[in-house]
Amino acid sequence: MAARTESREATTLTLPSDREILMTRVFNAPRRLVFKAHSSCEHMKHWWGPREYSFASCTIDFRPGGAWRIVQRGAKGDEFGFSGVFKEIVEPERIVWTFQFEGDPQQGCEETLTLEERGGKTILTARSVFPTAEGRDAMIKSGMEDGARETWDRLAEYVKTLS
């Protein structure tokens, strides 16, 4: 329960419009490391997704136009796929990608990750824009908030190992 409390305090989630989710967190690491942690399966396997899932498979072609796909596996063998395409990569400032939870096509969005460094720390902002309000609401109802907070807790732990 301590990790959940920590993530609630560390990560902010707001809904700036009926089609957007905005999440922000400060990571105690330089942005080059937070950016690097998003660039390959070798890195993402250490932090992607809630702890209750294992990292089943991954492909990442980290370049504009390159596709990505990550599959998580639950304790009972159930699998959950996430995929998309990188639209823009500006190292170490920004990553724009499409994000699709394969279990529900309505939950697809375009997400812009912006990384800003201040005093050796990184402010990571993720702005997800959905085609419809219903799509955004479906994502919120899926439990993504807790999963995203735990994922960013794991990212915070992982970037400490990179420095």
For residue 123, pLDDT beyond 60: yes
Q: Round to the nearest angstrom and report the end-to-end CA distance of the chain.
A: 27
For residue 20, pLDDT beyond 70: yes
CATH fold of 2-162 reads Alpha-D-Glucose-1,6-Bisphosphate; Chain A, domain 4 (3.30.530)
Instruction: Describe the chain by its helix, strand, coil percentages, rounded to 5.
Output: 30, 40, 30
With 0-12 / 13-18 / 19 or more C-beta atoms within 10 angstroms meaning exposed / middle / buried, residue 39 is: middle
For residue 7, pLDDT beyond 60: no
**Beta partners for residue 124, in sequence order:** 25, 115
pLDDT, mean of residues 7-28: 90
Question: 0.95 cut: is pTM over it?
Answer: no
Lowest mean per-residue pLDDT among 8-22, 40-54, 145-159: 8-22
User: How confident is residue 1, by pLDDT bands cut at 50, 70 and 90?
Assistant: very low
Cβ–Cβ under 8 Å, residues 99 and 108: yes
For residue 8, pLDDT beyond 60: no
With 0-12 / 13-18 / 19 or more C-beta atoms within 10 angstroms meaning exposed / middle / buried, residue 147 is: middle
